[in-house]
Amino acid sequence: MVFNPQRIRDPIHNIIGFEGNQFENMLWELINTRPFQRLRRVKQLGFSDLVYPGATHSRFAHSVGVFHIARRMMKIIETHLRSKNEFQEAQAQHALAAALLHDVGHGAFSHAFETVGKRLNIEMAKHETVSKKLILDSEIADCLKKMGAGFHKDVADVIDDDVSATLYSAVISSQFDADRLDYIQRDRMMCGTGHGAIDFEWLVENIQVGEVQFGVDEERVGKQQTFVIGPKAIAAAETFVFGLFQLYPTVYFHKTTRGAEKLFTELLVRVIELSGNGRSARTGLPENHPLVQFANDSDSIDNVLCLDDSVVWSALHLLADSEDELIASFSDRLRRRKLYKVIDVREEFRKQEKDEDALDKSCAQMKIKIEEWARKDSSPFPRILVDDCKRSPYKEYKEEKGPLNQINVLDNGDLRDLRDVSDVVKAIKDFKAFRVYVDDDDQEAKKFTNDAIREI
Amino acid sequence: MANVNKLFNQGKNSPMQVLADAGGKIVGKTRFQKIAYLLSEAGLLEGYDFEYHHYGPYSDDLSSSLKFASLFDELKEEERKTDWGGYYSIFSLPESEGDKIEVNQNRSKFIKPMLNISSIVLELAATAAFLAKANDNPDDFDPWEKTRELKPDKATPDRLDKAKKLYKKILSVKTPRQLPKIA
């Protein structure tokens, strides 16, 4: 059988080729399935284009980029294992197919949709659940089975957190995985920001396979093979960690983007609650709208696949005419980009020269005060929206993490954690934010917030 | 000052009460999580939802409760470096608080076998219990075999054997709810 090679032009990687063999032909077929094509309509960064107009890139482009990097990293594994005659072609293919498919289950506005699902206890709002279901039972599964009857199950195992990690799965799940190495480059470029640049070529050139120790609590379990870096890439690894440190506040947790996500979350929670309770007419949406269909049967994979960013954006005009005050107000705010205004509470506390522990305590107390205030408030929709978030660009090796989250540097045959060889990485703190969002005209909510900051 | 008690579970479901019932100290986050999971399954602890994570059953609520209880000095969390390169935590009650909490003897009896055994063995036992409960066809399903499949590095024959013996011990304690009978 003859298989035709294929090519895609990509703004980060230029030409991404699919070779004319059975495996990569099958991957090309995966790309042409309905679930994968749907990723063209799920933006990688959700609402970030409200801040950075260029950030309209899709999970489709990112997924293809992840596959491209994963294939390159797999060559490192292949070289390492072939020298010992231990390379397993089938396991490599499972991991590469998983790299391409790792985001296929993302919902509209990705992580913001997952927050909605968490509030309403909807299992099919979790992208891992949907990805697994699509890989095991959909036209994606049919494609994967062309490589063998159980191939789809092996691919599902690679993206399943429940299943023990392997060296092969490190290409999509480790500190230097293809996912991170693609998004850190793509997101900064599409945002147009100068922050977060990494020395990608030098980093990949210096990635090797090593064996790192892991344990449970104080007890050693054994060693696990994963990616490590050579000593000449310490500066490149520092830049990578520093890049994340810069992109958290400036892109991923930008105050305006998060403000839009907060409105979106409240809006969708209300739409799904009303629709699921047989009151969809109040939402302004017709019975056959994908959001209403999803609210009525979230277990249906077809209902999940009908939802994407464009469905939500186009629904805003109908929702703005809703009888429900929250739905009408928040959908109109989103379409006009008239968001609630931010009060950066943690920064206000920081101005009082509090240390990190005192800041954490003050923010925790503020959260309780806001909850108490909201409980007494009789408004039909929330007047104070809270954003309480934390991310670690790089942390010491804690027991609950696992060896794949560390960057290990090969130093004269020994492995050393990047924190132990880099003062700058050791000095990097967690990114933490505690912000509240209020309507700029809501003087009462603003006064309450500012008074509470002074009192705590 | 806001009522910070709302940040972590209180009374008989507080992490401080679990610590008191454990004799005042629990070594390791994994150990704390698995003890709390098995207590919950046995009907001896309420207020925590558990999901399957990489290290077996895990509760975000418990993790958050521990974090805030430590932040507001209701309990102590001390971090130490392991000889395998990572860090682990030791949870204890502040000296001033230890005597104030009345120990629940039944819970104490249930927890005792889990305190001095390997955390890896405890993780295997809790994972098998979780898998047994999650499976719809208990007759056709061997949770220990599935545990071995999911955790090939940890589930050595010796550790699995110890995990089954541990589980048998805690099964023998009279509890409000029956744990899955898998040992």
Question: What is the pLDDT at residue A71?
Answer: 98
- List the domains of chain A with CATH numbers: 6-197 (1.10.3210.10), 254-339 (1.20.1250.30), 340-393+428-456 (no CATH)
CA–CA distance, A17 with A9 (Å, rounded to integer): 9
* Residue B177 belongs to some domain of the structure: no
> Is residue B98's pLDDT more than 70?
no
**Cβ-based neighbour number of residue A299 at 10 Å:** 11
* Residue B43 belongs to some domain of the structure: yes
* Residue B180 belongs to some domain of the structure: no
Question: What is the pLDDT at residue B135?
Answer: 86
Question: What is the pLDDT at residue A400?
Answer: 59
User: Is B55 an interface residue toward A (CB < 8 Å)?
Assistant: yes
Complete DSSP assignment for B130-183: HHHHH-S-GGG--HHHHHHHH-TTT--HHHHHHHHHHHHHHHTS--SSPPP---
Mean of pLDDT values over B126-155: 90
How far does the CA of residue A359 sit from the closest CA of chain B (Å)? 11
Q: Which of A100-109, A271-280, A281-290, A393-402 is predicted least confidently?
A: A393-402
How far does the CA of residue B45 sit from the closest CA of chain A (Å)? 22
pLDDT band at A405 (very low <50, low <70, confident <90, very high): confident
pLDDT band at B2 (very low <50, low <70, confident <90, very high): low
Mean of pLDDT values over B86-95: 91
Answer for the pair B91, B76: CB distance below 8 angstroms, yes or no: yes
- Between chain A and chain B, how many beta carbons pairs sit less than 8 Å apart? 101
Question: What is the pLDDT at residue A161?
Answer: 77
Which residue type is seen at A102?
A: H
In angstroms and rounded to an integer, the radius of gyration of the C-alpha atoms of chain B is 16
Chain A positions contacting chain B at CB under 8 Å are 161-164, 212-222, 224, 357, 360-361, 364-366, 368-369, 371-372, 396-402, 417, 456
> Is residue A146's pLDDT more than 70?
yes
pLDDT band at A295 (very low <50, low <70, confident <90, very high): very high
* Residue B34 belongs to some domain of the structure: yes
> Is residue B1's pLDDT more than 70?
no
How far does the CA of residue B86 sit from the closest CA of chain A (Å)? 5
Question: What is the pLDDT at residue A436?
Answer: 98
Q: Which of A92-101, A235-244, A352-361 is predicted least confidently?
A: A352-361
> Is residue A404's pLDDT more than 80?
no
Contacts of residue A29, Cβ cutoff 8 Å, sequence gap at least 6? A143, A146
CA–CA distance, B68 with A50 (Å, rounded to integer): 35
Global pTM? 0.93
* Residue B178 belongs to some domain of the structure: no
Q: Which of A121, A163, A216, A389 would best serve as a mutation to test chain B binding (most B beta carbons within 10 A)?
A: A216
pLDDT band at B99 (very low <50, low <70, confident <90, very high): confident
Backbone torsions φ then ψ of A10, nearest 5 degrees: -135, 140
pLDDT band at A403 (very low <50, low <70, confident <90, very high): confident
Question: What is the pLDDT at residue B6?
Answer: 76
Question: What is the pLDDT at residue A320?
Answer: 98
B153 and A368: CB-CB below 8 Å?
no
Mean of pLDDT values over A106-113: 95
Backbone torsions φ then ψ of A174, nearest 5 degrees: -165, 175
Provide the sign of the torsion angle of the four alpha carbons A79, A83, A84, A90, taken in this order: positive
Q: Percent of chain A beyond pLDDT 90?
A: 89
Mean of pLDDT values over B15-29: 95
Predicted confidence (pLDDT) per residue in A148-161, tens digit: 999 999 999 999 87
User: Is B120 an interface residue toward A (CB < 8 Å)?
Assistant: yes
Domain total in chain B: 1
Predicted confidence (pLDDT) per residue in A75-98, tens digit: 999 999 999 999 999 999 999 999
The residue segments making up the domain with residue B30 are: 4-171
User: What's chain B's average pLDDT?
Assistant: 92
Answer for the pair A339, A265: CB distance below 8 angstroms, yes or no: no
Q: Which of A214, A400, A421, A455 would best serve as a mutation to test chain B binding (most B beta carbons within 10 A)?
A: A400
pLDDT band at B10 (very low <50, low <70, confident <90, very high): confident
User: What's chain A's average pLDDT?
Assistant: 95
Question: What is the pLDDT at residue A408?
Answer: 93
Contacts of residue A78, Cβ cutoff 8 Å, sequence gap at least 6? A87, A92
Contacts of residue A150, Cβ cutoff 8 Å, sequence gap at least 6? none
Mean of pLDDT values over B12-25: 94
CA–CA distance, B147 with B33 (Å, rounded to integer): 17
Question: What is the pLDDT at residue A396?
Answer: 77
CA A340 vs CA A261, A314, A367, B100: distances in Å: 11, 21, 18, 46
Interface confidence (ipTM) of the complex: 0.85
Q: Percent of chain A beyond pLDDT 70?
A: 99
For residue B4, which residues of chain A lie inside 8 Å, CB to CB?
Answer: 361, 364-365, 368
User: Is B52 an interface residue toward A (CB < 8 Å)?
Assistant: yes
User: Is B118 an interface residue toward A (CB < 8 Å)?
Assistant: yes
For residue B71, which residues of chain A lie inside 8 Å, CB to CB?
Answer: 357, 360-361, 364
Backbone torsions φ then ψ of A408, nearest 5 degrees: -105, 140
CA–CA distance, A133 with A158 (Å, rounded to integer): 13
